[in-house]
Amino acid sequence: MRSLPAPRTDVAPGRGVDQLWEVSVAPGGAGPYVPGASAALGPELLRRVVGFVVAGLPDARFLWCEDGRWTRCALERRPGAQAQVAVVLSPLDGPPGGLTAREIDIVSLVALGLSNREISSRLGTSIRTVTTQVERLLKKLGQDSRAGAGALAVDRDLIRLPIPGGVEQKPEANGTDSSTDSSTDSIRVLDIERHSGGAAAAGLRATARAHRPGRSRRRETLRIATIAVGGAFAADGRETAQGAALAARDVNTLRSDLGQAVEHVTVHIDPLDDASVRAGLAALEEADPDAITSSYASALSSAVFEFAADFGRTFLHTNTWTRSVAAVREDPGRYGHVFQTCPSEPTYQAALLSFLGGCPSRGERRHRLAVVELDGYGCAVTDDTFEARVAAVGWEVTSTHRVGLTVDRVDDLVAEALADRPDVVVLSHLSVETAAELQNAITRHHPGQLTYHIYTPSVPGFARRIAHDPGGQVIWSTVTGRPDDPLGRRFTAAYARAYGSAPGRSQASAAYDQVRMVHAAHAITGSFNPAAIGGHLRESAYRGVNGTYLFADAGQSVTGYPYDSVDQSLSQPTLTYRLSGAGQEILAVTPGP
C-alpha cells in the first residue's frame, strides 16, 4: 500500500491543475497515434501507455521529460472490456525532489539494479564520476545504501522513462557493487519499458482524448464548488450553500490586490435520487473546480464519494461515516485528496456516554436506555461494545431499533421503544422530518420523556416541527458545531445580516470553514494543484468557526475535544445542547469513562 504523499515542493506556482487524458488502446494501425499531434501527449509517451496495457498493470507512476519539459505521469486502467487508460499529467518546473536531471537518470538506473560500471557505460561517463554522483545522490536522499535509494525512487515516483539504455539487464559476472536482484521484476515502471517496444505492442494503436484539458494559463480565480444536499435534506443543503457563499464573499472582500479571488459554484444534489446525483456530478465535472466542499452527500450516495476519488481534486466533507475514513486510511493512493472536516461516529457515542454518566444516580436501580437509530449513513451510536460501555456508567439498554431514512409506522415503533419505560430515548437520524416525527410521537405517548438526539436538532426548522412539551427535555450533540465564542458570534451576526435569519448549529459554519481553509492552503502554496493544496492541509492546522482542523490521522479526519483529544487548541469541540421553550444552550460536559 502506498503511503500518503509528502507535501509537494516541486509544484510550480500558477502552473495549473493536472491534465487528464483518456486513452483507448486497440488493435490496428502502425503504432501510437494522437489526434492533433499534441505536444502534451506525444507518440513516445503514448508508446508507454501501450506498454502499460500490454503489461496488464492496474496503475503506475513515473517521470517524463520531453523538450526540456518535466511532467509527473500517472496511469490508471479503467474498468471495462476495452483497454481504457486514464493518463494524468502534472507539469513540473524541473526535476523533483531537489535533484538534477542527471541524478534522476542515476537513481532510475540504481533502481534498475545496475552497478556503477554499467551506469557509466550507459551515460558515457567515467566510473569515478558515477561513483561520486551516487555518493552525492545517497546523501541528498538520506539513504545509506543503493537498495534504499532504489526503494525510495520507486516510493516517491522518481523513476524517469525512458530508462537510459533500456531495461534489459546484463549484470556483471564478478561485480561487487551491483544490487541486481529479482526485486526489480516487481517495479511496475520497468514493466512498462519492457513491453512498450515488444511484439505485442507493435499491433496496437492508442487514441487519446483530452478529458479535462489542462489550463494553458493561470486562472484568474480559485474555483470552489459546493455540493448542497436536497430533497429531504434541503434545509441542511441551504445552510451549506449559504455558509460557503458567505466565505467566498468574505475572501473576495478582504483579499489584497495580489490575492486570489474565489469563484464559488453551488451544485444541488438529492442524494437519494439517482438521476439527481448523475446530473449533479455531471455539473460538477463541467464546472471544473479546483476543490469541492460538501456536507454528508457522500455518506448518503456512494456515487458522490467515488466521483470525488476519480475526479482527483481536493474534496472536503462532513460525512461522519467511519467507513469513509477507513477508505482513505486503507487506500491513500485513491482517496488521498479526501478530507473529513469533523470527527466520526465513535465521537457521538463518547458524547452520549459522557451525558449518561453525568445523570443523577437512582440508587440501586440502573437507568434504562432505548435507542432508535438510522441504519448506516454515518450517525450510528451503537456497536458491539455499546451495551458494555453503557453498563460501565450505570445504565442498561432496554431495546435497540434500527430504521431506514423513513419510518412507516412511527407510533408502533415508539410504543415498542417506550414499553420498558426508559429514562432516556436516543434518536439518531439525519432526516429532520423523520427525527421530528419520532419526537412528536414520543411526546404523544409519554409527555415529559427525556430524549437525546444525534445531530438533527442542529438543522434549522427542527424546533418548529416538534410539539412543545413543557415537562420534557430534548438534548442533542453534534461533532462539528458552532460554539458561543467570539468567532461563533461574529459568524452568526454576519450570516444573519446576509440571509435574514440565524444559522443552524452545524453545517453553515462548517461550510464557511471549508472554503476559507481551501483558500488559505492555495494562498500559502501559490498553487492550484490538488497535491500541493492537500499537502498543506495535511501539514498545517487551521482555526475556523467550528474549531481547529488538523488532519494528522492517516484517515485525514479531525479530532474532537474532549473525547478524541485532550488538546482543545488542536481539535474541534464536541458540543452537547439542550433545547427547550426558552431556546438552546450548550451544556458543559466532561469525558466519561
Strands 59-66 and 69-77: antiparallel
Q: Which amino acid is at 496?
A: A
Task: Check residue 229 and give its pLDDT.
Answer: 96
- Nearest to residue 312, comparing CAs of 1, 2, 20, 104? 20
Angle at 292 (CA atoms; ends 290, 58), nearest 5 degrees:
80
Residue 204's region, left for phi above 0, alpha for psi from -120 to 50, else beta, is beta
CB 305 within 8 A of CB 534: no
User: Hey, what domains does the chain have and what are their CATH numbers?
Assistant: 18-214 (1.10.10.10), 221-344+518-549 (3.40.50.2300), 346-478+578-587 (3.40.50.2300)
How far is C-alpha 403 from the chain's CA centre? 28
Q: Which amino acid is at 371?
A: V
Give the residue ranges of the chain where pLDDT is below 50.
Answer: 1-16, 30, 34-39, 170-183, 212-218, 257-258
Segment (H or E) for 222: strand 221-229
**C-alpha to C-alpha distance for 303 and 333, rounded to whole angstroms:** 18
Task: Check residue 372 and give its pLDDT.
Answer: 96
Angle at 12 (CA atoms; ends 7, 14), nearest 5 degrees:
115
Task: Check residue 396 and give its pLDDT.
Answer: 95
Task: Check residue 80 and give its pLDDT.
Answer: 63
Cis omega (within 30 of 0) for bond into 271: no
**C-alpha to C-alpha distance for 425 and 450, rounded to whole angstroms:** 7
In the numeric block, which cell numbers belong to residue 316? 472536503
Give every strand in the sheet of 59-66, ordered side by side. Answer: 160-161, 59-66, 69-77, 83-91, 19-27, 204-212
Task: Check residue 470 and give its pLDDT.
Answer: 78
Task: Check residue 493 and give its pLDDT.
Answer: 96
Q: What is the pLDDT of residues 429-444, one digit of tens each?
A: 989 999 999 999 999 9
**C-alpha to C-alpha distance for 76 and 304, rounded to whole angstroms:** 20
CB 332 within 8 A of CB 4: yes
Task: Check residue 313 and give its pLDDT.
Answer: 92
Task: Check residue 202 and give its pLDDT.
Answer: 79
> What's the sign of the alpha-carbon dihedral 122, 127, 129, 134?
positive
CB 259 within 8 A of CB 238: no
In the numeric block, which cell numbers belong to residue 254? 478582504
In the numeric block, which cell numbers belong to residue 143? 539513504
